[in-house]
Structure 1
Amino acid sequence: MAYSWDNRVAFVVKYLYDIDNNGYLDAHDFHCLALRTCVLEGKGDCSSARLQKYQHVMLNLWEEIAQLADFDKDGIVTVDEFKQAVMNSCVGRRYEDFPQSMRAFIETNFRMIDINCDGVLALEEYRYDCVQRMVVEDIKVVDEAYSTLLNDDDRRRGGLTLSRYQELFAQFLGDVSDDCEAKHLFGPLEF
């Protein structure tokens, strides 16, 4: 099932963290992720101050992930090791109880997707984020996925705020049911 907890967690590894697409996580991924985040949030600009900030955030995230998930201490984190770490650290927990560096990544990811920096992820921003990562044949599928994420407050605000995105991200990782409310947080999963 595309929306099983296993697939959702594997999606996070494959599409959010494994920047070099080698099938596992290591320090190189997070070094590259810092640069990618700097450029995307800066809409092409890569100031040394912003890059240094993201290098700090991503290095801390890698160190935390390695501490929680590199069970055999070989310097890499496999998908299975990552799943076990998420099971231990995130399942059944609220966003506030997630590891600190993971929360920093989630906030950074939100800012990167919030293209117009208005504090709300609107449909257009969600679309842009989805089509960067996956093959989409019909935008209606993406629009329907986005619609499933919105509650009445989200609709009044015009999209997802940071606090709502945090809540949904916590559900995406922390709810083991196949039909969790946040299953479409990153679009219609087809992998």
Structure 2
Amino acid sequence: MACSWHNRVEFVVRYLYDIDNNGYLDAHDFHCLALRNCVLEGKGDCSNARLQKYQHVMLSLWEEIAQLADFDKVPDYDGMITVDEFKQAVMNSCVGRKYDDFPQSMKAFIETNFRMIDLNSDGIINIEEYRYDCVQRMVLEDIKIVDDAFYSLLNDDDRRRGGLTLSRYQELFAQFLGNTNENCEAIHLFGPLEF
């Protein structure tokens, strides 16, 4: 099933962290993510101060993930985290937990991701920003599929505001990773997932 917890975690690896698409995570991915996030948030600008901020966030995230996930770090530590190792780390550190209980670096990444999607920096991810984020990762024939996914995320307060606030995005992200139910409210946080 496309929305199963396993597929959602694989999605995070494939589309959010494994920037070089080699099938595993390593420090190189997070170094490149820092540069990408800097440029995206700066809408093309890459100031040294912003880049240093992102390098700190992303390399801290890598170190935390490596500590939580690289279960084969015996004397021959390979410096790589497989999808299965990442799933086990998410199972141990996120499943059944609220956002506030997530590892600190993961929370920093989630906040950074929100800022990158919130293109107009108004504190709300609206439908146009959600669409823009989705079409960068997915092959789609009909925008209605994306719109339906967006509207499925919204509660009454979200509808009144016209989208997702940071706190609501954090709540949904925690459900995306931490709720193993394939029908949880957050299954479409990154669009209509289909593998």
Instruction: Check whether TM > 0.5.
Output: yes
Provide Cα deviations, 1:18-45, integer angstroms capped at 9, x if missing partner. 0000000000000000000000000000
Q: Unmatched 5+ residue regions in structure 1?
A: none
The Cα shift of 1:51 comes to 0.3
- Distance, in Å, in 2 between the alignment partners of 1:45 and 1:135 is 28
- Distance, in Å, in 1 between the alignment partners of 2:137 and 2:46 is 22
The Cα shift of 1:102 comes to 0.1
The residue correspondences of 1:57-76 to structure 2 (distance < 5 A) are 57-73=57-73, 74-76=78-80
Provide Cα deviations, 1:130-187, integer angstroms capped at 9, x if missing partner. 0001111100000000000000000011100000000000000000011110000000
- Distance, in Å, in 2 between the alignment partners of 1:75 and 1:167 is 31
1:33 pairs with 2:33: yes
Question: Which residue does 1:170 correspond to in 2?
Answer: 174
1:121 counterpart (105, 121, 125):
125
Q: One-letter code of the match for 1:48? A: N
Provide Cα deviations, 1:78-97, integer angstroms capped at 9, x if missing partner. 00000000000000000000
2:100 counterpart (96, 118, 139):
96
The residue correspondences of 1:1-191 to structure 2 (distance < 5 A) are 1-73=1-73, 74-191=78-195
Provide Cα deviations, 1:108-145, integer angstroms capped at 9, x if missing partner. 00000000000000000000000001111100000000
Q: One-letter code of the match for 1:32? A: C
TM-score under structure 2 length normalisation: 0.97
Q: Secondary structure at the match of 1:164?
A: helix
- Distance, in Å, in 1 between the alignment partners of 2:126 and 2:119 is 9
Q: One-letter code of the match for 1:134? A: M
RMSD over equivalenced CA pairs, Å: 0.4
Q: Unmatched 5+ residue regions in structure 2?
A: none
The Cα shift of 1:190 comes to 1.1
Q: One-letter code of the match for 2:4? A: S
Q: Secondary structure at the match of 1:67?
A: helix
